[in-house]
C-alpha cells in the first residue's frame, strides 16, 4: 500500500541563513516525502556566524497559524522548535492538548550553534508545559543540564521522563572524542545508538533536522524507536553531504539526501556484470559518473548516479546476456551524446524521439551491456498512460 503524505506542523523560528529553524525543518520533511506546514514564532537575522537580530511574533498570530492549517489540512505530527516567549509556549501547549493522540516532538531550542541565546530563563521555565504534551523531547547535553540542573545526563533524562511522561532523546553530539552515543529514555525502556563523529564544521541545524525527521516518521505511523533511528540516519547523511557554505558553522546538505532513508521500497543501486575491470571503469567515468569505490582486487567499482548508485562486478569468465538494459537520465542528452561521440565512444544510435515520449540514445559498455542515455522529464513517472493507484495517497490522518 502506498503511504499517504504525512502532514507535519512545524512550530519554530525562521533562520534567514537557511541552516536551522523552519528552513531546515521544511527541507527535512520535504526531502523525506512529507508536507510541511508552519507556524512561525520568531524571525531571526542570522547566518553561519551568528544571530544579529530577533523579532518575536505575537502569540495570537502564532496561534492563528496553527489553527489555520489544522482546521483545513489536518496534521499527523507536530515539531516544536524555537519559542518566542513563555506566554506563547503556554498557549501552544493548550492548543496541542486538544489534538489528542497526534505525536509531538519538542526540540527545546535555547542556544544557536553559534552561541547566541534564543530562549530566556522565563521561556525555559515554561518549557515544562510543552514537555507535558510532547511524545518525545530532544535536548542536546547543555540543554538537558539547563532543564534539570543535573550533570548526569541519564539521571537528568529520567527526571524529565518521570515529571512530564515524555520520552527523552539524549543527544551525544556535544561530547568530546570520535565516539558518539545517543540514548532514547522512555518510562519503561532505554535504547541506545553508537556512532562515530563526522568531522565537519557544517553542523548548523542538526537538532532541528533530527527533530523534524523524527516527527515525519511518527506522522507516517512508525514507532518511536524506528523514528529516532531513521531520523539519525537522515542527519548523518545530511552531514556527509554538507555543501560547505559560509564562514562559520555551515548548513547541512538536506538537498542531497533523497534515497538514503524514507518510506517504502527504493531502487537505489543497479549492478552490471563485466569482463575487463579497467575498461569498464574508464567507460563509466567517461559517461560522467562519479566513482566512489575502486576495488580492482575484487574487480568491483561503484559510482554515484544522481541520488542512486551504480556498480560493476567484473569476471573475465562471465557470460554477458542481453536481459538487462541500464538507463541513465540526463537533461543535457543531445549535448552529452555529441561530446561522448567526439571522445571516441561509439553509439548504436544517437538521440531519437520515442513513441513513449522519451528521447534516448543507445550504446554498449565494453562488456556488451546495453546502455541508454535518455531524457524523459515528467513522462518517466507520469506518462499519459500511467496506472491509477488503487490506494489513496492523500488525506486521512488525525485532525
* Residues annotated as catalytic (active site), given as ranges: 171, 203, 205-208
Measured distance CA(311)–CA(275) in Å, rounded: 13
Q: Report the number of secondary-structure helices (H) and strands (E) in the chain.
A: 10, 17
Phi-psi region of 368 (alpha: psi -120 to 50; beta: other; left: phi over 0): left
Measured distance CA(157)–CA(170) in Å, rounded: 7
Helix (H) or strand (E) holding 371: strand 370-375
Residue reference for cell 504534551: 133
Residue reference for cell 527535512: 28
Measured distance CA(171)–CA(150) in Å, rounded: 15
Question: In this structure, are residues 237 and 202 in contact, taking their beta carbons and an 8 Å threshold?
Answer: no
Residue 312, C-alpha cell as written in the block: 560493476
Pairing of strands 7-15, 35-46: parallel
Question: CB under 8 Å to 277, separation ≥6 — which residues?
Answer: 296, 299, 301, 312, 314
Helix (H) or strand (E) holding 40: strand 35-46
* Edge-to-edge strand list for the sheet holding 167-170: 51-56, 35-46, 7-15, 77-80, 104-106, 136-137, 167-170, 179-185, 190-196
Q: How many residues does the chain have?
A: 399
Residue 80, C-alpha cell as written in the block: 516544536
Amino acid at each position: 500500500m502506498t503511504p499517504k503524505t504525512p502532514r507535519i506542523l512545524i512550530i519554530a523560528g525562521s533562520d534567514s541563513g537557511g541552516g536551522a529553524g523552519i528552513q531546515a525543518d521544511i527541507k527535512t520533511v520535504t526531502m523525506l516525502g512529507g508536507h510541511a506546514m508552519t507556524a512561525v514564532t520568531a524571525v531571526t537575522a542570522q547566518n553561519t556566524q551568528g544571530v544579529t537580530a530577533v523579532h518575536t511574533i505575537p502569540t495570537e498570530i502564532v496561534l492563528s497559524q496553527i489553527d489555520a492549517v489544522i482546521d483545513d489540512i489536518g496534521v499527523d505530527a507536530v515539531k516544536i522548535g524555537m519559542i518566542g516567549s513563555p506566554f506563547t509556549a503556554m498557549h501552544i501547549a493548550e492548543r496541542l492538548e486538544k489534538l489528542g493522540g497526534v505525536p509531538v516532538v519538542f526540540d527545546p531550542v535555547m542556544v544557536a550553534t553559534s552561541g547566541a541565546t534564543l530562549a530566556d530563563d522565563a521561556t525555559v521555565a515554561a518549557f515544562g508545559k510543552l514537555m507535558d504534551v510532547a511524545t518525545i523531547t530532544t535536548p542536546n547535553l547543555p540543554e538537558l543540564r539547563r532543564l534539570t540542573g543535573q550533570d548526569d545526563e541519564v539521571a537528568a533524562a529520567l527526571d524529565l521522563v518521570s515529571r512530564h511522561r515524555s520520552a527523552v532523546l539524549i543527544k551525544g553530539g556535544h561530547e568530546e572524542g570520535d565516539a558518539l552515543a545517543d540514548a532514547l529514555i522512555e518510562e519503561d525502556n532505554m535504547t541506545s545508538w553508537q556512532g562515530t563523529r563526522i568531522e565537519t564544521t557544517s553542523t548548523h541545524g542538526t537538532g532541528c533536522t533530527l527533530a523534524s525527521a523524527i516527527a515525519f516518521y511518527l506522522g507516517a505511523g512508525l514507532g518511536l524507536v524506528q523514528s529516532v533511528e531513521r531520523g539519525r540516519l537522515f542527519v548523518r547523511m545530511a552531514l556527509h553531504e554538507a555543501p560547505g557554505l559560509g564562514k562559520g558553522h555551515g548548513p547541512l546538505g538536506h538537498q542531497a539526501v533523497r534515497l538514503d532513508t524514507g518510506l517504502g521500497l527504493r531502487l537505489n543501486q543497479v549492478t552490471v556484470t563485466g569482463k575487463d575491470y579497467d575498461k569498464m571503469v574508464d567507460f563509466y567515468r567517461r559517461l560522467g559518473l562519479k566513482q566512489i569505490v575502486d576495488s580492482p582486487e575484487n574487480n568491483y567499482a561503484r559510482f554515484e548516479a544522481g541520488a542512486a548508485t551504480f556498480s560493476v562486478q567484473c569476471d573475465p569468465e562471465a557470460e554477458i546476456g542481453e536481459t538487462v538494459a541500464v538507463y541513465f537520465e540526463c537533461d543535457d542528452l543531445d549535448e552529452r551524446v555529441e561530446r561522448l561521440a567526439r571522445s571516441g565512444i561509439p553509439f548504436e544510435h544517437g538521440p531519437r524521439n520515442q513513441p513513449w515520449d522519451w528521447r534516448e540514445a543507445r550504446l554498449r559498455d565494453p562488456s556488451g551491456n546495453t546502455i541508454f542515455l535518455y531524457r524523459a522529464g515528467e513522462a518517466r513517472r507520469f506518462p499519459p498512460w500511467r496506472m491509477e493507484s488503487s490506494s489513496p495517497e492523500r488525506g486521512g490522518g488525525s485532525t
